[in-house]
């Protein structure tokens, strides 16, 4: 027991007890990698990722046929609708021979859909079902990225449809260009020459895996309602791709040796296996998104807790910095700041920045524009807002009205002490305004 306690203490000190700013590059990378593994494992143990993966399975089952039908209709206009089945087969390959049957059944369902018979209402419900799936994906990725706000309805509708229309074309264009490249006479001549032949075989074997990584990266960059750095998305997508390939092999081996389950569940076994494989796919997507998030925001790894707790001292400094940046750009006629811009400038995740911005908006200090994404400007002249006003706002931010200081007992000594502290702050600031904070040279 003592050895276990000592091991936990040493592990905690190694991961969280050291300031990485003074550590060597190798040690810093090692600790950050271990912290990321711990954070992902903690998120899985808390159960939110698994619950969200399960809910995505349910939504996908309802939306799968409409999703393929919508993509099928787009591809049909370009005469490449026959390529839908070859695209589904690699995704269902771990299911073995049953995967081909499922692919054939899905294509059969799609072929049986008659848009003319559906009518306007049926077509609308078809599109709504697909939009619901996309919205659910965005919500779950927003949870991973600690994003509270969602896209406006009009933007969601237009962006989701753009993904559904353009995505299949990009995939099949990439596959078609690759196939045309390898079938060209020049490449065939080069393949006959060693070691170029071995190199081309390696590239051909690697390309499907790279397409999977590209698909994961595409989802991580486009779907969350935040700016995702390309490199962070590729890091998460690469690890997700490795997990997907590894689990695919393991699941295929499991299916091959699952004769007992087939004997018990009969024809229903393939339904169960399909749902399990779909669940594992969505869980891999969420794990890769978590890794991308932690890579982009290492500040989330400074604590073993998932929630990023802010002290009043930190919120006050973030508010002062935000007021400085917004005011400085406004008074010097520079582009206004967006939420992502401010988070990148401060080097912190979106959640604390969004919390402070919300408090400043409610106090009437700043306002957001109608741009997409919204940008922030002073709601009124910063000359009329004192630094003391801003600090008081941050002190009372997210305060529950049922637990305000008004309901607490009033003691003369305590009230006098608080009044003296407020007066000392006011005196030391000399009534300085936010404009003076943003433009000290004036």
Q: Where are the domains of the chain?
A: 2-45, 47-180+209-301, 312-438
- Please list, in sequence order, all residues whose beta carbon lies within 8 angstroms of the beta carbon of residue 232, skipping any fewer than 6 positions away: 292, 293, 295, 296
> What would the two tokens of residue 383 be?
């000359």
Residue 376: helix, strand or coil by DSSP? Answer: strand
* The pLDDT value given to residue 277: 84
Look at residue 284 in the predicted model and tell me its pLDDT: 93
Distance CA 430, CA 171 (A): 62
- Whether residue 373 is preceded by a cis peptide bond, meaning omega within 30 degrees of 0, is yes
362 token code pair = 């409610």
Place of tokens 């269902």: 92
Mean pLDDT in residue range 297-321: 81
Q: In what order do the strands lie in the sheet with 337-338?
A: 337-338, 375-378, 366-368
Q: What is the mean pLDDT of residues 205-222?
A: 81
For residue 49, CA distances in Å to 32, 144, 313, 394 come to 21, 8, 32, 32
Query: In angstroms, how far is the first alpha carbon of the chain from the final one?
Result: 65
Q: pLDDT tier at 237 (50, 70, 90 boundaries)? A: very high
CB 360 within 8 A of CB 366: yes
Residue 81: closest CA among 68, 93, 91:
68
User: In the predicted model, what is the mean pLDDT of residues 393-419?
Assistant: 77
Beta pairing class for 337-338 and 375-378:
antiparallel
Predicted TM-score (pTM) of the model is 0.73
Q: Is residue 117 scored above 60 in pLDDT?
A: no
Q: What is the pLDDT of residue 321?
A: 94
CB-CB contact of 353 with 346 (8 Å):
yes
Is residue 234 scored above 70 in pLDDT?
Answer: yes
Partners of 386 in the beta sheet?
433
Q: Give yes or no for residue 3 having a pLDDT over 60.
A: yes
Mean pLDDT of 268-284: 83
| Whether the Cβ atoms of residue 343 and residue 351 lie closer than 8 Å to each other | no
Q: Distance of CA 21 to CAs 16, 27, 29, 36, 302, Å?
A: 13, 11, 11, 17, 12
| Geometric angle at alpha carbon 419, from 416 and 423, rounded to 5° | 135
**Mean pLDDT, range 110-124, rounded to an integer:** 60
Contact partners, residue 157, CB within 8 Å, separation at least 6 = 131
In sequence order, the 6+-apart residues with CB closer than 8 A to the CB of 335 are 329, 375
Q: Higher pLDDT residue, 422 or 302?
A: 422
Exposure pattern of 213-228 as b/e (b: 16+ CB <10 Å)?
Answer: bbbbbbbbbbbbbbbb
* Residues 375-398 pLDDT 10s: 999 999 999 998 888 888 888 776
Asked if 106 and 65 count as a contact pair (C-beta separation under 8 A), the reply is yes
Q: Does domain 312-438 have CATH number 3.10.200.10?
A: no
Which of the pair, 298 or 141, is modelled with greater confidence? 141
CB 272 within 8 A of CB 298: no
Task: Give the mean model confidence (pLDDT) for residues 35-63.
Answer: 88
Q: Which of 5-14, 104-113, 323-332 has the highest mean pLDDT?
A: 323-332
The residues, any chain, with a CB within 8 Å of residue 309's CB and separated by 6 or more, are: 303
Helix pair 153-183, 115-144: axis angle to 10 deg: 100
Cα–Cα distance for residue pair 393/400, rounded to 1 Å? 14
Q: Give the Cα separation of 92 and 85 in Å (integer).
A: 10
Is pLDDT above 80 for 58?
A: yes
Predicted confidence at residue 328, as pLDDT, reads: 92
Distance (Å, rounded) from C-alpha 300 to C-alpha 353? 13
Q: What is the pLDDT of residue 318?
A: 92
pLDDT of residue 325: 94
State how far the Cα of 205 lies from the Cα of 261, in Å rounded to an integer: 33
Residue 333 carries which DSSP code? Answer: T
Residue 154 reports pLDDT greater than 90:
no
Note the pLDDT of residue 290: 94
Higher pLDDT, 439 or 202: 439
Mean pLDDT within 347-374: 86
SS3 category, 423: helix
| 231 against 182, higher pLDDT | 231
Please determine, for residue 306, whether its predicted confidence score (pLDDT) is greater than 80: no
- Window from 58-72, 172-186, 287-301, 355-369 with minimum mean pLDDT: 172-186
393 and 366 Cβ atoms separated by less than 8 Å: no
Length of the chain: 442
pLDDT at residue 323, rounded to an integer: 93
Confidence class for position 372, pLDDT limits 50, 70, 90? confident
Residue 410 pLDDT? 81
Whether the predicted pLDDT of 184 surpasses 70: no
**How many C-beta atoms lie closer than 10 Å to residue 76's C-beta?**
12
Question: Residue 20 — pLDDT band, cuts 50, 70, 90?
Answer: low
**Which of these ranges, 16-25, 137-146, 210-219, 332-341, has the smallest mean pLDDT?**
16-25
Q: How far is CA 408 from the centre of its chain?
A: 42
Average pLDDT, rounded, for the chain:
78
User: pLDDT at position 346, please?
Assistant: 87
Give residue 238's pLDDT. Answer: 93
Q: Crossing angle for the helix pair 339-346 and 350-362, nearest 10 degrees? A: 120
């Amino acid at each position: 027991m003592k050895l276990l306690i000592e091991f936990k203490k040493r592990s905690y000190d190694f991961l969280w007890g050291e300031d990485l700013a003074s550590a060597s590059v190798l040690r810093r990378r090692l600790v950050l990698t271990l912290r990321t593994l711990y954070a992902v494992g903690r998120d899985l143990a808390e159960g939110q990722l698994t619950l969200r993966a399960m809910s995505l399975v349910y939504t996908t089952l309802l939306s799968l046929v409409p999703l393929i039908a919508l993509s099928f209709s787009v591809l049909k206009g370009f005469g490449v609708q026959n390529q839908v089945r070859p695209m589904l087969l690699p995704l269902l390959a771990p299911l073995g021979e049953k995967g081909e049957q499922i692919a054939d059944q899905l294509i059969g369902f799609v072929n049986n859909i008659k848009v003319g018979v559906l009518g306007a209402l049926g077509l609308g419900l078809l599109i709504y079902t697909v939009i619901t799936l996309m919205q659910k994906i965005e919500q779950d990725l927003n949870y991973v990225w600690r994003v509270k706000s969602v896209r406006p309805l009009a933007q969601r509708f237009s962006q989701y449809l753009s993904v559904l229309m353009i995505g299949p074309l990009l995939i099949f264009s990439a596959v078609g260009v690759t196939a045309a490249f390898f079938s060209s006479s020049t490449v065939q001549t080069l393949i006959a020459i060693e070691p170029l032949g071995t190199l081309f075989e390696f590239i051909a074997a690697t390309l499907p895996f790279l397409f999977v990584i590209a698909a994961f990266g595409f989802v991580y960059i486009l779907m969350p309602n935040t700016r995702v750095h390309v490199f962070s998305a590729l890091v998460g997508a690469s690890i997700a791709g490795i997990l997907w390939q590894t689990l695919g092999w393991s699941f295929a081996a499991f299916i091959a040796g699952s004769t007992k389950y087939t004997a018990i569940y009969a024809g229903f076994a393939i339904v169960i296996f399909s749902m399990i494989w779909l669940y594992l796919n969505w869980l891999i997507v969420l794990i890769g998104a978590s890794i991308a998030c932690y890579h982009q925001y290492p500040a989330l790894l400074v604590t073993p807790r998932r929630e990023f707790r802010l002290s009043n001292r930190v919120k006050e400094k973030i508010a002062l910095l935000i007021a400085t940046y917004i005011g400085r750009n406004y008074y010097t006629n520079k582009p206004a700041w967006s939420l992502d811009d401010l988070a990148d400038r401060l080097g912190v995740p979106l959640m604390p920045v969004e919390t402070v911005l919300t408090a400043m908006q409610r106090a009437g200090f700043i306002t957001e524009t109608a741009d997409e994404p919204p940008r922030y400007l002073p709601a009124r002249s910063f000359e009329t807002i004192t630094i003391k006003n801003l600090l008081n706002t941050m002190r009372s931010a997210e305060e529950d009205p049922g637990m305000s200081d008004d309901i607490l007992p009033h003691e003369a000594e305590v009230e006098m002490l608080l009044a003296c502290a407020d007066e000392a702050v006011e005196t030391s600031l000399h009534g300085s305004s936010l404009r003076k904070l943003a433009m000290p040279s004036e």
